[in-house]
Amino acid sequence: MFLKVHGVSGTRRYNHVCNCGYMVSSKARGRGFATTMCEHSQKVASELGYQAMQFNFVASSNEGAVRLWSKLGFETIGRLPRAFNHPKNGYVDALVMYKWLQKTSCAFIVSQITE
């Protein structure tokens, strides 16, 4: 297993978003490790002050990962055409998946819009 959570260094305009990436051995798949790592890293990211998290490069052919990240609240916000050279499928798209971590009340949002 591999776990990485790091923020983007540099300007304050985007240092509230951290990047995450996980690799789980094929022998360990289906045992909840990716779910546990993702939930843990979201908690740690929030504790460190990050407001959002993203996966920069999810192979679209990795249906299990796409399904899991979606289940955990990540949205696909970008697509890089033919960016990943899959050993069996050839060139497949890579997805950028993003989640806003901060809890925001709908009432607060509506009040901000109507003011």
pTM for this entry: 0.77
Q: 């407001």: which residue's tokens?
A: 51
Q: What is the CATH number of the domain that holds 52?
A: 3.40.630.30
Q: Quick: pLDDT tens for 53-107.
A: 999 999 999 999 999 999 999 999 999 999 999 999 999 999 999 999 987 654 4
How many domains does the structure of the chain reveal?
1
Range of the domain at 103: 2-114
Phi, psi of 27 (to 5 degrees): -70, -20
Q: Could you give the 3-state DSSP secondary structure of residue 49?
A: coil
Quick check: 2 pLDDT over 60?
no
